[in-house]
Amino acid sequence: MRKHIVAGNWKMNKNLQEGIALATEINDLLKAEKPNCEVIIGTPFIHLAKVSEVVDHSLVAVSAENCADKASGAYTGEVSAEMVKSTGAEYVILGHSERREYYHETPAILKEKVHLALANGLKVIFCIGESLAQREAGEQEAVCKAELEGSVFHLTPEQWKNVVIAYEPIWAIGTGKSATPAQAQAVHAFIRGHIAKKSQAVADQVIIQYGGSVNDANAAELFTQPDIDGALVGGASLKAPAFAVIVK
Ligand code: 13P
Protein backbone atom coordinates (compact mmCIF):
# COMPACT_ATOMS: atom_id res chain seq x y z
CA MET A 1 0.00 0.00 0.00
CA ARG A 2 1.31 3.41 -0.97
CA LYS A 3 0.86 6.14 1.60
CA HIS A 4 -0.98 9.27 0.52
CA ILE A 5 0.64 12.69 0.66
CA VAL A 6 -1.25 15.97 0.87
CA ALA A 7 1.03 18.91 0.17
CA GLY A 8 0.26 22.61 0.15
CA ASN A 9 1.93 24.97 -2.29
CA TRP A 10 1.56 28.50 -0.99
CA LYS A 11 3.14 29.96 -4.16
CA MET A 12 3.98 33.69 -3.75
CA ASN A 13 1.51 34.37 -0.95
CA LYS A 14 1.79 35.38 2.72
CA ASN A 15 4.38 37.67 4.28
CA LEU A 16 6.59 36.19 6.98
CA GLN A 17 4.25 36.91 9.89
CA GLU A 18 1.19 35.63 8.00
CA GLY A 19 3.08 32.51 6.97
CA ILE A 20 4.14 31.69 10.52
CA ALA A 21 0.54 32.18 11.67
CA LEU A 22 -0.80 29.90 8.93
CA ALA A 23 1.78 27.18 9.60
CA THR A 24 1.01 27.34 13.32
CA GLU A 25 -2.72 27.07 12.66
CA ILE A 26 -2.24 24.08 10.33
CA ASN A 27 0.05 22.41 12.86
CA ASP A 28 -2.51 22.90 15.66
CA LEU A 29 -5.33 21.44 13.55
CA LEU A 30 -3.21 18.41 12.64
CA LYS A 31 -2.20 17.91 16.26
CA ALA A 32 -5.84 17.81 17.28
CA GLU A 33 -6.73 15.27 14.61
CA LYS A 34 -3.71 13.15 13.78
CA PRO A 35 -3.44 12.73 10.00
CA ASN A 36 -3.31 9.24 8.50
CA CYS A 37 -1.32 10.54 5.53
CA GLU A 38 1.89 12.48 5.11
CA VAL A 39 1.39 16.25 5.14
CA ILE A 40 3.74 18.82 3.63
CA ILE A 41 3.58 22.58 3.44
CA GLY A 42 5.45 24.25 0.61
CA THR A 43 6.40 27.84 1.34
CA PRO A 44 8.42 30.67 -0.16
CA PHE A 45 12.12 30.61 0.79
CA ILE A 46 11.80 33.37 3.38
CA HIS A 47 9.40 31.28 5.48
CA LEU A 48 11.32 28.02 5.50
CA ALA A 49 13.55 28.37 8.58
CA LYS A 50 10.87 29.86 10.79
CA VAL A 51 8.07 27.55 9.63
CA SER A 52 10.41 24.64 10.14
CA GLU A 53 10.80 25.75 13.77
CA VAL A 54 7.09 26.15 14.53
CA VAL A 55 5.79 22.87 13.07
CA ASP A 56 6.01 19.39 14.58
CA HIS A 57 7.94 17.48 11.92
CA SER A 58 6.30 14.21 12.96
CA LEU A 59 3.02 15.74 11.71
CA VAL A 60 4.04 18.01 8.87
CA ALA A 61 7.10 18.31 6.66
CA VAL A 62 8.29 21.54 5.07
CA SER A 63 9.06 22.10 1.40
CA ALA A 64 10.63 24.82 -0.70
CA GLU A 65 8.93 25.73 -3.98
CA ASN A 66 12.15 25.89 -5.99
CA CYS A 67 15.92 25.70 -5.72
CA ALA A 68 18.84 26.79 -7.89
CA ASP A 69 20.29 24.75 -10.73
CA LYS A 70 23.78 25.55 -9.46
CA ALA A 71 25.46 24.24 -6.31
CA SER A 72 26.88 27.53 -4.97
CA GLY A 73 28.74 30.65 -5.93
CA ALA A 74 28.17 33.87 -7.84
CA TYR A 75 24.49 33.49 -8.74
CA THR A 76 22.93 36.60 -7.25
CA GLY A 77 19.46 36.07 -5.87
CA GLU A 78 19.50 32.28 -6.12
CA VAL A 79 18.95 29.81 -3.27
CA SER A 80 20.74 26.47 -3.42
CA ALA A 81 19.43 23.05 -2.50
CA GLU A 82 22.00 22.91 0.29
CA MET A 83 20.66 26.19 1.71
CA VAL A 84 17.09 24.86 1.55
CA LYS A 85 18.16 21.72 3.38
CA SER A 86 19.90 23.79 6.09
CA THR A 87 16.58 25.46 7.02
CA GLY A 88 15.11 22.16 8.19
CA ALA A 89 13.01 21.66 5.05
CA GLU A 90 12.69 18.08 3.81
CA TYR A 91 11.26 18.63 0.32
CA VAL A 92 11.46 20.86 -2.72
CA ILE A 93 8.79 21.29 -5.40
CA LEU A 94 10.41 21.31 -8.84
CA GLY A 95 9.06 21.63 -12.36
CA HIS A 96 5.89 23.50 -11.48
CA SER A 97 4.22 24.76 -14.65
CA GLU A 98 4.46 28.34 -13.36
CA ARG A 99 8.25 27.96 -13.17
CA ARG A 100 8.40 26.29 -16.56
CA GLU A 101 6.25 28.98 -18.18
CA TYR A 102 7.20 32.25 -16.46
CA TYR A 103 10.86 31.49 -15.63
CA HIS A 104 11.65 29.39 -18.69
CA GLU A 105 12.79 26.33 -16.77
CA THR A 106 13.60 23.66 -19.34
CA PRO A 107 13.77 19.89 -18.80
CA ALA A 108 17.58 20.15 -18.79
CA ILE A 109 17.58 22.86 -16.10
CA LEU A 110 15.09 20.83 -14.06
CA LYS A 111 17.23 17.72 -14.40
CA GLU A 112 20.08 19.66 -12.81
CA LYS A 113 17.83 20.93 -10.00
CA VAL A 114 16.56 17.41 -9.29
CA HIS A 115 20.14 16.15 -9.17
CA LEU A 116 21.23 18.86 -6.71
CA ALA A 117 18.13 18.46 -4.53
CA LEU A 118 18.63 14.70 -4.17
CA ALA A 119 22.38 15.08 -3.68
CA ASN A 120 21.68 17.45 -0.79
CA GLY A 121 19.25 15.11 0.95
CA LEU A 122 16.02 16.77 -0.14
CA LYS A 123 13.03 14.84 -1.46
CA VAL A 124 11.54 16.15 -4.69
CA ILE A 125 7.93 16.76 -5.67
CA PHE A 126 8.27 16.82 -9.44
CA CYS A 127 5.37 18.45 -11.33
CA ILE A 128 4.25 17.58 -14.84
CA GLY A 129 1.12 18.29 -16.84
CA GLU A 130 -0.34 19.60 -20.06
CA SER A 131 -1.84 22.93 -21.11
CA LEU A 132 -5.43 23.33 -22.30
CA ALA A 133 -4.35 23.43 -25.95
CA GLN A 134 -2.34 20.24 -25.46
CA ARG A 135 -5.29 18.54 -23.75
CA GLU A 136 -7.60 19.59 -26.59
CA ALA A 137 -5.12 18.12 -29.05
CA GLY A 138 -5.08 14.86 -27.05
CA GLU A 139 -1.41 15.34 -26.16
CA GLN A 140 -1.60 14.91 -22.38
CA GLU A 141 0.20 11.57 -22.35
CA ALA A 142 2.92 12.73 -24.75
CA VAL A 143 3.53 15.85 -22.63
CA CYS A 144 3.79 13.88 -19.37
CA LYS A 145 6.08 11.33 -21.02
CA ALA A 146 8.41 14.05 -22.35
CA GLU A 147 8.52 15.89 -19.02
CA LEU A 148 9.31 12.67 -17.13
CA GLU A 149 11.92 11.57 -19.63
CA GLY A 150 13.51 15.02 -19.76
CA SER A 151 14.28 15.33 -16.06
CA VAL A 152 13.72 12.25 -13.88
CA PHE A 153 13.56 9.10 -16.01
CA HIS A 154 17.29 8.43 -15.64
CA LEU A 155 17.15 8.23 -11.83
CA THR A 156 18.07 4.98 -10.07
CA PRO A 157 15.47 3.01 -8.09
CA GLU A 158 17.25 4.21 -4.93
CA GLN A 159 16.82 7.86 -6.01
CA TRP A 160 13.18 7.29 -6.98
CA LYS A 161 12.45 6.53 -3.32
CA ASN A 162 12.88 10.28 -2.76
CA VAL A 163 10.78 11.45 -5.70
CA VAL A 164 7.05 12.17 -5.73
CA ILE A 165 5.31 12.97 -9.00
CA ALA A 166 2.56 15.59 -9.10
CA TYR A 167 0.29 15.51 -12.13
CA GLU A 168 -1.00 19.06 -12.52
CA PRO A 169 -2.92 19.79 -15.70
CA ILE A 170 -2.29 23.49 -16.30
CA TRP A 171 -5.91 24.10 -17.31
CA ALA A 172 -7.01 23.00 -13.83
CA ILE A 173 -4.58 25.17 -11.84
CA GLY A 174 -6.21 28.14 -10.16
CA THR A 175 -9.23 27.90 -12.44
CA GLY A 176 -11.67 26.25 -10.04
CA LYS A 177 -12.07 23.61 -12.75
CA SER A 178 -10.49 20.44 -11.38
CA ALA A 179 -9.91 17.44 -13.61
CA THR A 180 -12.62 14.87 -12.96
CA PRO A 181 -11.51 11.87 -10.91
CA ALA A 182 -11.73 9.75 -14.09
CA GLN A 183 -9.67 12.22 -16.14
CA ALA A 184 -6.99 12.42 -13.45
CA GLN A 185 -6.98 8.64 -12.88
CA ALA A 186 -6.47 8.00 -16.60
CA VAL A 187 -3.32 10.14 -16.71
CA HIS A 188 -2.02 8.82 -13.37
CA ALA A 189 -2.38 5.26 -14.67
CA PHE A 190 -0.51 6.27 -17.83
CA ILE A 191 2.31 7.86 -15.79
CA ARG A 192 2.64 4.80 -13.56
CA GLY A 193 2.55 2.52 -16.60
CA HIS A 194 5.23 4.54 -18.32
CA ILE A 195 7.49 4.43 -15.25
CA ALA A 196 6.88 0.65 -15.12
CA LYS A 197 8.65 0.37 -18.47
CA LYS A 198 11.80 1.30 -16.55
CA SER A 199 11.03 -0.50 -13.32
CA GLN A 200 7.84 -2.18 -12.11
CA ALA A 201 9.05 -1.87 -8.50
CA VAL A 202 9.52 1.89 -8.85
CA ALA A 203 6.13 2.25 -10.56
CA ASP A 204 4.42 0.33 -7.75
CA GLN A 205 5.92 2.48 -5.00
CA VAL A 206 6.03 5.95 -6.55
CA ILE A 207 3.52 8.40 -5.10
CA ILE A 208 1.60 10.31 -7.76
CA GLN A 209 -0.29 13.33 -6.48
CA TYR A 210 -2.97 15.20 -8.37
CA GLY A 211 -2.95 19.00 -8.41
CA GLY A 212 -5.33 21.54 -9.91
CA SER A 213 -8.23 23.15 -8.05
CA VAL A 214 -8.28 20.53 -5.30
CA ASN A 215 -10.46 21.72 -2.44
CA ASP A 216 -12.28 20.46 0.63
CA ALA A 217 -15.31 19.52 -1.50
CA ASN A 218 -13.67 17.50 -4.29
CA ALA A 219 -10.63 15.91 -2.59
CA ALA A 220 -12.35 12.84 -1.15
CA GLU A 221 -13.63 11.66 -4.50
CA LEU A 222 -10.30 12.22 -6.22
CA PHE A 223 -8.61 10.13 -3.50
CA THR A 224 -10.85 7.12 -4.20
CA GLN A 225 -9.03 6.57 -7.50
CA PRO A 226 -6.47 3.75 -7.37
CA ASP A 227 -3.55 5.70 -8.85
CA ILE A 228 -4.19 9.04 -7.10
CA ASP A 229 -1.98 9.04 -4.01
CA GLY A 230 -2.82 12.45 -2.61
CA ALA A 231 -2.80 16.03 -3.77
CA LEU A 232 -0.69 19.11 -4.34
CA VAL A 233 -2.95 21.94 -3.27
CA GLY A 234 -2.58 25.61 -4.16
CA GLY A 235 -5.35 28.04 -3.21
CA ALA A 236 -7.05 25.78 -0.65
CA SER A 237 -3.76 25.33 1.24
CA LEU A 238 -3.87 29.02 2.23
CA LYS A 239 -6.84 28.39 4.52
CA ALA A 240 -5.97 26.09 7.42
CA PRO A 241 -9.49 24.66 7.95
CA ALA A 242 -9.94 23.77 4.25
CA PHE A 243 -6.46 22.26 4.10
CA ALA A 244 -7.20 20.19 7.24
CA VAL A 245 -10.38 18.86 5.66
CA ILE A 246 -8.43 17.73 2.58
CA VAL A 247 -5.92 15.99 4.87
CA LYS A 248 -8.73 14.31 6.76
P1 13P B 1 -4.71 25.41 -7.19
O2 13P B 1 -5.01 24.36 -6.15
O3 13P B 1 -4.83 26.81 -6.69
O4 13P B 1 -5.44 25.14 -8.46
O5 13P B 1 -3.13 25.24 -7.54
C6 13P B 1 -2.64 23.98 -7.81
C7 13P B 1 -1.16 24.04 -7.88
O8 13P B 1 -0.60 24.67 -8.77
C9 13P B 1 -0.40 23.38 -6.83
O10 13P B 1 0.95 23.32 -7.12
Dihedral angle over CA of 135, 139, 142, 148, nearest 10? -20
The pLDDT value given to residue 36: 92
Q: How far apart are CA 43 and CA 51, in angstroms?
A: 8
Whole-prediction pTM: 0.98
Instruction: Quick: pLDDT tens for 111-130.
Output: 999 999 999 999 999 999 99
The pLDDT value given to residue 211: 98
Task: Extract the runs of DSSP E, i.e. beta strands, from the chain.
Answer: 5-9, 38-43, 61-64, 91-94, 123-128, 163-167, 208-211, 230-233
Atom of ligand 1 nearest to the CA of 93: 10
Measured CA angle at 164 (ends 105, 84), to 5 deg: 60
Atom of ligand 1 nearest to the CA of 97: 8
Clarify whether 82 is annotated catalytic. no
The pLDDT value given to residue 227: 98
Q: Which of 96, 98, 115, 147 is catalytic?
A: 96
Out of 232, 238, 239, 245, mutate this one to test ligand 1's pocket (max ligand atoms within 8 Å of CB): namely 232
Position 1 pLDDT exceeds 90: no
Instruction: Quick: pLDDT tens for 187-232.
Output: 999 999 999 999 999 999 999 999 999 999 999 999 999 999 999 9
Clarify whether 96 is annotated catalytic. yes
> CA neighbours within 13 Å on the CB side: how many for 209?
33
